[in-house]
Amino acid sequence: MKLFFAALAVIIAILFAPMVLSPAPDNSHGKPVEGLPWQIEALPDGTSRVLGLALGTATLNDARARFGDGELALVAAQDETESLEMYFTDVTAGVITGKVVVTGAMGAADLAALRQRATKTEYMASGTKKSQLADQDLPAAYATPVRALAFIPSVNLDEAMVIQRFGQPGERIRVSDKLEHFLYPERGLDVVLDADGKELLQYVAPRDFAKLREPLISEGATK
């Protein structure tokens, strides 16, 4: 299984220059800050809640209600099957700004049907293709449950910051000289540190974490 987000390289490539952490919140009223990227609630059924959405239960419509208008499309990297994704370019997670990608849990047959009726397909420089859905397919697409989330923070992260906020990872996997994955299986989280690009936080239900980890094992060596 691919790393959930087929358009990851494309998303990172089109990001603007690194920004900074948004201003600190006004805590003069003593209100706790909610929706921070490290505030992950693991639920008894093996799912989780993060950034205000319950993975596996919330729908793409719920993501729209939480994050605002986003771009909905079928996305496929080279030699990969398509996935249903929504892109949100201006999201605030607690006090941290960034971009969010939401992946829908839609079966292969339904994805193929959406692809056949797609009205427009664009090809990126990387070879990734993005297809616009037909209007008739939008209601079913928005009703699709959320399978995974990706958060691309505006602030640059490093190893010390990750460990400070998320704790020691259960496992670290380096897939190249520039990319290292910090894995938190009990929280369904993969923090990807990129020495040359933007960092990425990938969230899945903890019960599905093996599907996220397995492709990494074949790419790199476990530390």
What whole-number percentage of the chain has pLDDT above 90? 65
Report pLDDT for 220.
Answer: 59
Tell me if 48 is assigned to some domain: yes
Tell me if 51 is assigned to some domain: yes
Tell me if 26 is assigned to some domain: no
Please state the domain count of the chain. Answer: 1
Tell me if 126 is assigned to some domain: yes
Tell me if 178 is assigned to some domain: yes
Domain of residue 134 covers: 8-12+40-222
Residue 139 has pLDDT above 90, yes or no: yes
Alpha helices by DSSP H, 86-221: 108-117, 138-142, 159-166, 209-217
Report pLDDT for 153.
Answer: 94
Least confident piece of the model among 4-8, 11-15, 136-140: 11-15
Residue 67 has pLDDT above 90, yes or no: yes
Which residues have a Cβ under 8 Å from the Cβ of 149 and sit 6 or more positions away?
50, 51, 53, 55, 100, 101, 102, 103, 202, 203
Residues 17-45: tens digit of each pLDDT: 333 333 334 444 557 888 999 999 999 99
Report pLDDT for 14.
Answer: 33
Average pLDDT of span 98-113? 95
Least confident piece of the model among 14-18, 133-137, 157-161: 14-18
Tell me if 68 is assigned to some domain: yes
Tell me if 28 is assigned to some domain: no
Please tell me the number of Cα atoms within 13 Å of 123 on its side-chain side: 3
Tell me if 23 is assigned to some domain: no
Residue 176 has pLDDT above 50, yes or no: yes
Report pLDDT for 219.
Answer: 67
Report pLDDT for 42.
Answer: 94
Residue 145 has pLDDT above 90, yes or no: yes
Report pLDDT for 65.
Answer: 96
Average pLDDT of span 79-91? 91
Residue type, 46: G
Average pLDDT of span 166-187? 94
